[in-house]
Every structure is written in C-alpha cells, then in structure tokens.
Chain A
Amino acid sequence: MKNQGNPYIPHLATVEDTWYETYGDRAIKTFRVVFQEEEVKEAWEHKPGQCAMIGVLGVGESMISISSSPTEGNFLRFSVMRMGKVTQALHQLEPGDTMTVRGPYGNNFPLEEWKGKKILTIGGGIGQAPLRPIVEYVRANKSDYGDLTVLYGARTSNDLCFKNEFDELQKCQTVSSCHLSVDLEEEGWTHFVGFVPTMLMEVNPSPENTIAITCGPPIMIKFVLQNLKKLGFEDEQIYTTLENRMKCGIGKCGRCNAGPLYVCKDGPVFSYATLKEIPEAFA
C-alpha cells in the first residue's frame, strides 16, 4: 500500500486497547489499533508473518511483527517489548492515543502452500508474536490444515506472552496439542521445565507431512533447527522468521541484510533450505 506515492509517510492509527503480557525490565505490552482513515482501513491487507513500522511522532519508528491474523478482524495487534527509545515511548500509549503505522512489510508464511499439512509452531519469549497469527489463521481455517501443535516457552512463567490465550488453546478443539515450558523449576508450574529445544524432543512430533515454524532468541532457533533435523524434518519443511535492525522497511537503507538477503524484503520468513546457504543469517 502506498501513501500518496510516498512509502515513508505513515498512517495514523488509534490505540483501542492495550494490556501488559509481561512486567518488569523487559515488559511486553500488546496494542490493538485501528487506522483512523477509512480509506486506509479498507485498503490495508496483511498476511501472517508480515511486519509493520510502528512509531510515535517525535520519537521514531520500530519494525514490529503484526501479531494478529487478518482472520481476527479489521484491527492490528502488536506485542512490543520495552527495550529502547521507541518501544519506551510506545509503552506509554494508552487507549485513545495515536501511533503511526506503515507497511505491511516483508513476505509472509506461505500458508496457501501449506494447505493439507500439519502445522507445528515452536516459539520462545517474544518470538511467539510472529507465530501467533499462524495459530489464529490455522484455527480459523481448520478444515484446510491437519493437526496444529503449539510449543511455547519462556524464561519464567512471568515471561510467557498471551497466557490467557494459551489457557484457552489448551482446552480448545482446534489445537491438537499445546505445550508450554519455563527454563527453571517454579512452584505451581505443572508444564514442562527446560529449554524449548528440549521440550521439542520430549514432544517428539512426527515430520510426516508437517511444516515446522520456529521463532525466538537466536540461540534457541539454532538448537531447535538442530533438533528438528534430528527428528527427521527436511530443510524444506522448516521455516523461521528473522529480525534485524531496520529503518526503511523497503530495501533501501541497507542495514537489515543477512548476506545478500534483505530481511525486510526477502524475509522476514525464510525456509531453512534458503537460510543454511547464508552464513550471516545466524549471526
């Protein structure tokens, strides 16, 4: 979508609702926003896996995964960890406030291609944000896909995002199995204790007719990929979504490249078959 032909001019969006997913130093706040202009609202189309540049005038912009699926309604959701200047300013936004949004950027998860397949998502920490739209999309189009398995872990139970939704996922029929983990033993924790790659081996999903998608800290992704290979997944069955620092979102400003690939244009979604040819992708 273009804004008067100038891709750098953002749209204005109103924050409808916000809530904290996690608290503390690395607090994560979720925003549900709607565009202020009817025209933009109508024209906006995004697919699971895409990102948007969101920001606050006077402070700046950050590239953030769109964590809602288009099947959920005419709004966008972003889950933002408070980390730097822009995310700090975003965290101060309350319902009724305005943020700027431009995009959507990047490619998307090839959900059309995956029709008829079983879907396995493996997330860690804030890495669940780009995976959430897959889960929602597949749930909304259940008849098109096989079993949906969701694996998600964080350092502690306080660092898990979308907690209420996971309670629901564990009960609902559209998800075949949902597994949660925390890194260390906690009082009252009844789910898996250990790192996400270890939980993956424990769950032991079959690679047969399955697509595995993972996102999380680089170190987690590295071991998840290794373990998926051990489980017999082929490179073409494995997808991940990368992030790098970005400014323009449209392949001009230069900084998000991983080797010859621009994460903002060629990604953020990559198959492992593509990524393993790019040594810098795991830097």
Chain B
Amino acid sequence: MTEKVLQKENWSSFVQALADARELWLPVKEGPLHKFVPYSSEQETPVDLEGYANSSVPPKEAVFPQTETMFRYQTGDQEICPPEAIKERVLLGVRPCDARAMDLVDHVFQWDEDDTYYLDRRKKTALLGLACHEPFPNCFCTSLEGSPGSTQGLDVLMVDLGESYYLRAVTDRGKKILQSVESSLEEASEQGKQAEEIIKKAEGKIGRKVEAEDVPEKLAQLWEDPLWDRISRACLGCGTCTYLCPTCHCFDIQDEVEGYEGRRCRMWDSCMFGEYTLHASGHNPRPSRRERTRNRINHKYHYFVRKFDKIACVGCGRCITSCPVNIDILDILSRVKEAL
C-alpha cells in the first residue's frame, strides 16, 4: 500500500508537479461557489483546498461536459470530422460521493454499446479524492453505501490532517501518480490511523438519513398515488436538481451552424423539462411536472436499480441545497416509505 504525507507548505509544488505531467482540474472559488476548472499556473485565484466543502457543480463535467462537440462538418460538404482526443488528466479534490457517482454513470455509458466520448475521457481521468471532514447539512451518503472516506471510484484518497494531507493510493494508476510527484511527498507513518479517525468522526456528523432498501419496491406500487401531485405542486421545473446531480446523465443532441462551419454537439438535458419528451406531433408522454417528478425519483430509485442493481443516488445533497422551492429528496423518500 502506498501511503504518503503532503505538508501543506509543499502544496504549490505538489500542484505544479501534477500539472506538469498532465492536465490538472481542481475546484476553484468563483464568487461564493466552487467549480472544477482546468488549472493554469497563471491563474490568480488561490488553488488550495482550504474552505472547500464541495463544488456546486459536480465534477462530472470533466468527463461529461455540459456541452461537447461530437463532430464537425462543413455545410454542403458531407465530410465528418470527429474531435481530437483529449489528454490524460487528473481531478484533484473530488469528494468521495462524486467519485462514486462516476462509477454509477459508467454503467449507462458502457452498457450494450460504448459511448466513446464519455469512456475516452473517463479512462484518461484519474481521481484524487479528498475525504470529507465537515459534511454539508444535507449530505446523506452513509444511507447509500457511501462514506466521507469512501475510496470507490478513486485512484488516490487524500485526508486533511490540519497541517498536512495523508494520501493513500487506491489503484495502480493512483500509485503511479503519487510516484510521479514523489519529491513533494513524505512517507506516512502514523497518519493512516489519524485519517481513519477523522473519517469516522465525519461519518458521525452526517445528520440526515434514509433507509432506502425498500424504496424501489414501494415506488413500483405507487405509480398513481396522489403523493406525486403533492410533491410536484411546488416544482418550478427549473431543472437545477438534475443539472447539479452527479448521477444525472441525460443529454440532448443538436446541430449548430455558423456560416459554413457546422458541428453536432450534445449538452446536458433534464427530465424535468417538458420538451425533453415532447413528440413532434405535440403529444407528450410526461405532460406535467407530476409525471416528470415521478420519473426523476423512479429513475434514480427504481429503474436504475432494476437495470444495474444499484440506486443512482450518492447522497451528495446538492438537489436539496439548490432547489429554489425547497423540494427535498429525503422528504420525498420518506413519503414514499409512508405511503403504503
């Protein structure tokens, strides 16, 4: 097992060493929010992780961009040019819930037929995770097989020990990355134990919980239940819950033309939008927010379970924190559990 310690005074040289060998993404403060962006040494904003809880937009953007070019063409001409391949990259400071989410989304993009765009990025993206020691008030990862120190999906787990970080390689790739930045690291001794304690303490701080085991089965029986009317009444259909969800993966495909330059691109879409399912004829199989809310919850807690045997929610709490009308997925789940 490769275990290292990074003194915080060596943070800058660590970051620079990571960035020298590959593209580095890390959470940077933009206004009050954190967002994962590609690192550049000229960047003015501080790149340390002090005061960082989690990014408002999940890091899924690094493997599944909000908008990406699928191929280009010249209008009139019929030649299709696929985009250039991306470089190896590393995401620094990914929270364990978001890494687990990528593991879940992998199922979608590789079942039956491979999604080359996603899988190429995913294969080339290493995740250096940061364990949580101060969970958000709406975190509930421990209810969904997660933990503030979960290593699922990570290549390296980092734990903030105050004056230093403890780093543990989870995969061979993680081991190689740590070897490549060895000069800024020290060998770990007792820090592993200290890290375990911090994680355990963080687990204890998670206040919100749900027992989700029976939810898939209950949802199947609640199709016509009036609870969907009650739940969706407040919904504005803004789609924030889905855009900020690390497991949401729905997309639209559109052509864009400027002059003779054309490109086909795909962009995040949301099942909370009416147009998402609207037929050309005007018919809409999910005509109101009642059906759309029901679909969102069923997709995460029922359909995904039937297909991939896992709940497509990691308990990051973003949909709760960011909903403008305070719709709370844990509240929905408890109503589902009570309904029968």
Contacts and interface: CB of A to CB of B under 8 A. Distances in A.
Interface residues of A, number: 39
Interface stretch (B36-44, B172-180, B195-203, B252-260): B252-260
Contacts, number: 113
Interface in A225-283: 243-245, 247-248, 250-255, 257-260, 265, 279-280, 283
Contacts of A243: 279
Interface string B89-124: 000000000000000000011011111110000000
Closest 10 CB pairs of A and B: A254-B250, A83-B280, A84-B280, A283-B285, A260-B303, A250-B113, A6-B116, A247-B253, A58-B75, A58-B262
Contacts of A254: 249-251, 269, 271, 299
Interface residues of B, number: 48
Contacts of A251: 108, 111-113
A255 B250 contact: yes
B78 A57 contact: yes
The CB with the most chain B CB atoms within 10 A, among A243, A248, A252, is that of A252
The CB with the most chain A CB atoms within 10 A, among B82, B278, B280, B295, is that of B280
A130 B169 CA distance: 54
Given A255-B269, A283-B286, A283-B291, A248 B73 contact: no
A253 B250 contact: yes
Contacts of A10: 80
A9 B252 CA distance: 15
B22 interface: no
Nearest to B77: A57
Interface of A: 2, 4-10, 12, 57-62, 83-84, 87, 98, 218, 243-245, 247-248, 250-255, 257-260, 265, 279-280, 283
A4 B286 CA distance: 36
Contact of B116 (A5, A244, A265): A5
A5 B114 contact: yes
Contact of B303 (A83, A257, A279): A257
Nearest to B250: A254
A283 B307 CA distance: 21
Contacts of B289: none
Contacts of A279: 223-224
B281 interface: yes
B302 A244 contact: no
B253 A253 contact: yes
Contacts of A59: 255
B283 interface: yes
Contacts of B136: none
